Amino acid sequence: MDKIIIEGGRRLSGTIPVSGAKNAALTLLPCALLTDEPVTLRNLPRLADIDGFQHLMNQFGVSTTIAGSRPEDFGRVMTLAATRVTNTTAPYELVRKMRASILVLGPMLARAGEATVSLPGGCAIGNRPIDLHLKALEAMGARIELAAGYVRAHAPDGGLPGGDFAFPVVSVGATENALMAAALASGTTRLSNAAREPEIVDLCNLLVAMGAQIEDIGASDLTIHGVGRLHGATYRVMPDRIEAGSYACAAAITGGEVTLTGARADEMSATIHALRNAGVRVDVVKDGIHVAAEGPIRAINLSTAPYPGFATDMQAQLMALLCLAEGTSVLNETIFENRYMHVPELNRMGAHIETSGRTAIVHGVSKLTGAEVMATDLRASMSLVIAGLAAEGETQVHRLYHLDRGYERLEEKLALLGAQVERVGGD
């Protein structure tokens, strides 16, 4: 099993491109199931999760081709053609490692009238039930049953009629599934308290490019007028705001300065606000954002929240930065109940972090020390890399398969900024 070896203490400096957003790409890929015409996605990141979702789409009879792919390039161009759906089952062996697989349920139900999808897996960061996915689809007319670890869904004869659904809590995935299903419904669907993340807007924009009719994109109340068919489209995946925020933390903790080309400041406002409060300079530049450490890191208090609040996917990376802050920071995790698994590993490196329920108290220390650490989930992995970049001596981060799910060619980008990093085969 591969590991990354980091020799800490090097100031990061330079310019790197922000890759296409993992969380957006995994939502855009299943849109190809909604039409028999080709859908081409540009700026698709090279990630294990993307490869896994490609294999899942192939399972349904979707052909996938990658054009102009060169090993030295970041991003790819993939064309998906679901000319004919030959299978409506997403099996356990393909779904178990990737929670995003549940996003085939809505489009498959809308296109083929039925879908059988294994209950999903993914990072073990807490309880993430799919009940809101199912309730939203039921409100649109689907019949759903759970049996032997699978969701079995059927649409009435003539397809989904559409309907109204108010999410009792904000759910990104459930909003995405409902949007895709509603696009081909025979009537109008109204979604209240829908998620507002930029990745939701990206999905809506692709659906509109394919001929969908969606009102109030970006708002918490969405109206979708179903259409008889959707057509193909070519679309560029939005830049990854979580990747950009992660590299911003890496620059800050090493006392460096980095320009992140392609980053969209308007989609990262909560992250930028937190960094500035922590004493990090963030400037909006022509092609992205410029991040520079200007002095000591300051302690801050912060709670995660649905967009436009501070993203739970940035909590671990910011915590790593705050390990070296002057003073004590308090972080509250409001989204997932088990998202502090990186804390014991950071403490192994000399951090002083205490947790109680969903609250983490980060007592700033003067230095971190390299150690062997184990990644537990995707964002926790990046927090350990960030800490290792600033630590004295050598840090070894094990279980790189987590990082490979969400950060495109991480060690290459860090090397471009002057970090001393090496990927080696494990035992």
Residues with catalytic roles: 123
Check the annotation: does 128 bind a ligand. Answer: yes
Check the annotation: does 367 bind a ligand. Answer: no
Check the annotation: does 338 bind a ligand. Answer: no
Q: Is 186 exposed, middle or buried (0-12, 13-18, 19+ CB in 10 A)?
A: middle
The Cα–Cα gap between 108 and 31 comes to: 9
Check the annotation: does 99 bind a ligand. Answer: yes
Residues contacting 392, CB < 8 A, separation 6+ = 8, 9, 367, 368, 369, 370
Check the annotation: does 129 bind a ligand. Answer: yes
Check the annotation: does 111 bind a ligand. Answer: no
Check the annotation: does 3 bind a ligand. Answer: no
Check the annotation: does 132 bind a ligand. Answer: yes
Alpha carbon 325 to chain centroid distance? 27
Check the annotation: does 266 bind a ligand. Answer: no
Kindly report whether the peptide bond that precedes residue 344 is cis, defined as omega within 30 degrees of 0: no
The Cα–Cα gap between 296 and 406 comes to: 30
| Binding site listing for phosphoenolpyruvate | 22-23
| Binding site listing | 22-23, 99, 128-132, 313, 335
